[in-house]
Structure 1
Amino acid sequence: MKESLTKETLEAFQNDFRANTLHTVAKNAVTVNGLLKSSRNSEAARSTRHEFSISLEQGEITNQMQSGRCWMFAALNTFRFEVMKKLNLETFELSQNYTLFYDKLEKANYFLESILDTLKEPVNGRLISHLLTDPLGDGGQWDMLCSIIHKYGLVPKDAMPETACSSATREMAGYLTKKLREFACTLRKADESGASIDELRMQKESMMNEIYRILCICLGEPPKTFDFEVRDKDKNFHRDAQITPQQFYEKYIGLNLDDYISLINAPTSDKPYHRSYSVKYLGNVKEGRPVRYLNLEIEELKKAAIAQMQDGSPVWFGCDVGKYSCGENGVMDLDLYQTEELLGTTYHMTKAERLDYHESLMTHAMTFMGVNLDENGNPDRWRVENSWGEKSGKKGYYVMSDAWFDEYMYQVVVHKKYLPEQFVKEYESEPILLEPWDPMGSLAL
């Protein structure tokens, strides 16, 4: 073929298309119904049943609304499970607005500190461009939420309810981002004019005061103490007056977050298995725990997740939710859509190649609430609690095929007691630092 598309080449393409009547049938179906609806495989939905040999009971489904807080919702859904067990509750929900407030506040500080750390970098260089792209977006990681909890604790949802801005974050985030980019410009200009780092940090304090004020206006003021009041399944009333968020977490959840390890499956050549990894300039609480992963074979992620659920606890995980999934029936399955047959093409990239060539990465966090083990004890489908409300999936729940797990699952978080001692040592080893734009630096939305 020549460098340019010629008239003769286009005519050849057109003749090839028209030579097969199935192409016209496919065109008529897709132009009217869309690609996915036209290629949906009804048999896939039948084979992925919402029944599981291990199934944990949870409260009412949660809804992140028009926000990218899935990582918070998924984690808080695992934590509320502990509250419900301890107090014999029918349902319960923790405040995602409370964690959102402090995540935005801490991300703003983290961003400004990153700007101070990179003052000599060119403004049009890749690093500064990366930092300026999304200074305090909604997305996050497990370790980032752990840092928030360590510093600020948690509160029930009624202690800091949702607001218009927490349920639809785009406007608030847009104006905060605009302000942070202005602050970055101000700090870099002050540095060019000879200001000392102490003078720059004095400016930063005034900047952070503005961010705090905007967050209070948009999200409300976070409580320092509150009255915790609930009624259990047996109609018994419980009250804990004037408790702090830190006391609430310790008393009613009590998980030692330092015991939880983030496992990833990144089969790319630049990330050997059984090594610890972290990502430069990825975090929220400046003094908090860094984002850290242990890269393992996919079967090891499965074993750990199954062991934790067999012991009665849900599992936080991150995946590429948009691939071969349907919210209408709550199915995540490689055979869900027959797009290859419809389009007359095939897709050949491996999981590693999809990561290397930006075709896939971790985009969404949810919670495993069960798994179906066959007669040999092997998983064939997984029970998933999402945070998109009851209208998504089957009353908020999805079923994931085990084959889908292999291809589009990237991360699970488990207690270290479910891992061999050698894995824990590997996780605790000095991490290899990945560049900020590495696919393992993606944030769940």
Structure 2
Amino acid sequence: MMNMKKLAVLLLSGLFLNSVAWAQEDSTKTEVGYEFTTINELPYTPVKDQNRSGTCWSFSTIAFLESEMLRAGKPETDLSEMYIVWHTYLQKAVKYVRLHGNINFAAGGAFHDVTEMIKEYGIVPESVYDGLNYGEEKHVHGEFDNMLLDQVKTVVENKNKKLSTAWLESVKGTLNAYLGELPESFKYEGKTYTPQSFAKNYVGLNMDDYVELTSYTHHPFYSKFIIEIPDNWMWGEVYNLPLDDLMAVIDNSIETGYSVAWGADVSEKGFSTSRQGIAVVPEADLTEMSDAEIAKWESLSEKEKSAELYKLEKPGKEKEITQVMRQVAFDNYETTDDHGMLLVGTAKDQNGQLYYKVKNSWGEYNKYDGCFYASKPYVAYKTMSIMVHKDAIPKDIRTKLGL
């Protein structure tokens, strides 16, 4: 019979070996996190990097038009964002001076800035005009933006009683110094183009085919209004839809092969595109908790509840978004016109919840090579406006809009 001392040693050894095995097993476990299965993915051009410039509106709309070229059977083309920025800043300067400085003058803009500039001035490839004429390899616009702002402020504040004939040329000089002089003509793939002929004959898109839509209750639905955001210096109009219709447009667009230019607020805690590659609006799911878990949850402070919600370790319940929630967030400045991006597809997580694949313009900064996944509630809640091809809008909604 085994003596007690030897038995104790064996038991302790067994416990130790089990502990080691458990530790090794635990060390190999990784948090599952968010796993996505593609439902639909549209062709898109490589992710670009706006770097330290406030030109997401140009990057996102150019990305949209590049995808539209692919959809139309055109070759993959890298179009120049800064060509549009040059023209937009000049028109913005003229309007700022005409309004005695009573309008926003900053780096931001809107989707229609791009389409309107292309209609008037054409477009060129990135290889012809990269807008890097100031000793940087990537866009760094702090000095440039402030230089232009100081110029137009000086014009408005001058004490000469009238404007000189030189002020607009001085603004052009700054634009040329930083971004470079605009090409009157150029060669591309063996042919000579002007910006206008390149837009017409090579890009081949009709800028009048593209419309912007939103969903707010302070204007009538199925009508157009000038969206009241600071960066809408051009006073461009958007069509107003009920939220369900707006989401139907997004879904129909992607299902029928049309990408969607997406303007949204990215200030939410659930916008975690660097770490997890997601944008979500989580909510505690009390129905999935035991009584003990509910009691523990309710004992937490608001700060502790927020910390738990935004760990974002795996998919969970999200807020149910309503038209009222959207309006309150807009009216209270909780939803602002932060960033322009491009919706290029749909996917579902391991729980079967729907997400939109988003092409960003911050370079390949995360595990999805510069893209991320925005949940349907996030898009419903935080979309400021979208731009789509008119043919991407369901026929019944187009009829109500008179398109």
What are the equivalent positions in structure 2 for 1:298-313 lying under 5 Å apart?
298-313=243-258
Contact 1:52 1:382 in 2 (8 A): no
2:293 corresponds in structure 1 to: none
- 1:387 positional shift: 0.4
Matched, 1:208 2:208: no
Matched, 1:261 2:261: no
Matched, 1:405 2:379: yes
Q: Percent identity?
A: 21
- 1:401 positional shift: 0.8
- 1:309-346 deviations in Å (ceiling 9; x for gaps): 23323111111122111122310011399999661467
Contact 2:131 2:178 in 1 (8 A): no
2:140 corresponds in structure 1 to: 168
Contact 1:64 1:388 in 2 (8 A): yes
- 1:223 positional shift: 0.7
So what's the TM-score if we normalise by structure 2? 0.74
- 1:34-87 deviations in Å (ceiling 9; x for gaps): xxxxxxxx98x834x343211013232111010011111111112222445667
Cα RMSD (Å): 3.3
Amino acid at match of 1:256: N
1:388 corresponds in structure 2 to: 362
Q: 2: distance between equivalents of 1:86 and 1:263?
A: 22
1:148 corresponds in structure 2 to: 117
Judging changes above 3 Å, is the alpha-carbon distance between structure 1 residues 422 and 278 closer, same or farther for their aligned structure 2 residues?
farther
Judging changes above 3 Å, is the alpha-carbon distance between structure 1 residues 101 and 50 closer, same or farther for their aligned structure 2 residues?
farther
Q: Of the candidates 56, 65, 70, which is equivalent to residue 51 of structure 2?
A: 65
Amino acid at match of 1:98: Y
2:22 corresponds in structure 1 to: none
Judging changes above 3 Å, is the alpha-carbon distance between structure 1 residues 293 and 425 closer, same or farther for their aligned structure 2 residues?
farther
What are the equivalent positions in structure 2 for 1:255-404 lying under 5 Å apart?
255-267=205-217, 270-279=218-227, 290-323=235-268, 324-326=270-272, 327-335=274-282, 343-344=303-304, 350-372=325-347, 380-392=354-366, 394-404=368-378
Q: What SS class does the counterpart of residue 347 from structure 2 fall into?
A: strand
1:107 corresponds in structure 2 to: 92
Amino acid at match of 1:367: L
Matched, 1:251 2:196: no
Contact 1:264 1:296 in 2 (8 A): yes
Q: Which runs of 5+ in 2 are unaligned?
A: 1-29, 286-296, 310-318
Amino acid at match of 2:41: S
Q: What SS class does the counterpart of residue 74 from structure 1 fall into?
A: helix
Contact 1:106 1:284 in 2 (8 A): no
Judging changes above 3 Å, is the alpha-carbon distance between structure 1 residues 415 and 94 closer, same or farther for their aligned structure 2 residues?
same
Q: 1: distance between equivalents of 2:283 and 2:51?
A: 26
Judging changes above 3 Å, is the alpha-carbon distance between structure 1 residues 345 and 309 closer, same or farther for their aligned structure 2 residues?
closer
Bigger Rg, structure 1 or 2: 2
Q: What SS class does the counterpart of residue 166 from structure 2 fall into?
A: helix
Judging changes above 3 Å, is the alpha-carbon distance between structure 1 residues 273 and 87 closer, same or farther for their aligned structure 2 residues?
closer
Judging changes above 3 Å, is the alpha-carbon distance between structure 1 residues 284 and 277 closer, same or farther for their aligned structure 2 residues?
closer
Amino acid at match of 1:217: A
- 1:138 positional shift: 1.4
Contact 2:131 2:180 in 1 (8 A): no
- 1:1-33 deviations in Å (ceiling 9; x for gaps): xxxxxxxxxxxxxxxxxxxxxxxxxxxxxxxxx
Q: Of the candidates 198, 217, 233, which is equivalent to residue 177 of structure 2?
A: 217
Amino acid at match of 1:325: F
- 1:426 positional shift: 6.1
Judging changes above 3 Å, is the alpha-carbon distance between structure 1 residues 228 and 83 closer, same or farther for their aligned structure 2 residues?
farther
Q: Which 10-residue stretch deviates more, 257-266 or 164-173?
A: 164-173
Q: What SS class does the counterpart of residue 54 from structure 2 fall into?
A: coil
- 1:256 positional shift: 1.6
Contact 2:260 2:387 in 1 (8 A): yes
2:20 corresponds in structure 1 to: none
Contact 2:36 2:348 in 1 (8 A): no
1:46 corresponds in structure 2 to: 33
Contact 2:213 2:387 in 1 (8 A): yes
Judging changes above 3 Å, is the alpha-carbon distance between structure 1 residues 422 and 247 closer, same or farther for their aligned structure 2 residues?
same
Q: 2: distance between equivalents of 1:145 and 1:88?
A: 19
Q: 2: distance between equivalents of 1:319 and 1:292?
A: 17
Judging changes above 3 Å, is the alpha-carbon distance between structure 1 residues 283 and 406 closer, same or farther for their aligned structure 2 residues?
closer
Q: Which runs of 5+ in 1 are unaligned?
A: 1-41, 116-127, 194-199, 230-238, 430-445
Q: 1: distance between equivalents of 2:243 and 2:59?
A: 24
- 1:272 positional shift: 3.3
2:313 corresponds in structure 1 to: none
Q: 2: distance between equivalents of 1:428 and 1:361?
A: 28
Contact 2:109 2:231 in 1 (8 A): no
